[in-house]
Amino acid sequence: EISAFVDEVSSSVGIQISNAVQADTVTVEAIPSIISLGGTANISATVLDIDGNLMPNGSTVNFSIDNAGLGSLSPTATTTNGVATITFSGSSTSPGTGLITASTGSVSETVNIIVNPAATSSIEFGSAMPQAIGIRGAGQPEVSTVTFAVKDINGNLVSGDEQVSIS
């Protein structure tokens, strides 16, 4: 409390002194920013105070993603040398694009994360109907429908149109 006196008149005001540092900017990055289904990315948020200094160790940063179906992440992390880092784990089944937000105090920043379908890895024979065909004009079926299962590196069926060449 500070008091001022002039003759017989006085006035006092209470003050609070704090050494708490307020965050002024946060910069967030995803490394890598493009992953395959089931992949991971490191999400780092660098937090600076109003003077451009790194925030002290232990400052809390909150993380979120706008499309939870793309994967999972830790909702909070604390800074070490001004940087808070988490791991984003991509879904094994849902590709797409999302925004990851890092926030602390009243400041926030976003970064794009892209989860691509996993690379095609294998093709498995499914069936042939009929199983036997004959030469044209021989009186036997001349056409057979053959099916295959195309799988990604995680063993999941590849969705969409995947061109398969048979020779």
Give this prediction's pTM: 0.69
- Backbone conformation region of residue 92, classed left if phi is above 0, alpha if psi is from -120 to 50, else beta: alpha
pLDDT tens-digit map of 45-101: 999 999 999 999 999 999 999 999 999 999 999 999 999 999 999 998 889 999 999
CA-based angle 33:34:39, to the nearest 5? 105
Separation of alpha carbons 63 and 86, rounded Å: 8
Q: How confident is the model at residue 102 (pLDDT cuts 50, 70, 90)?
A: very high
Q: Which of 26, 34, 113, 33 is nearest to 67 (CA)?
A: 113
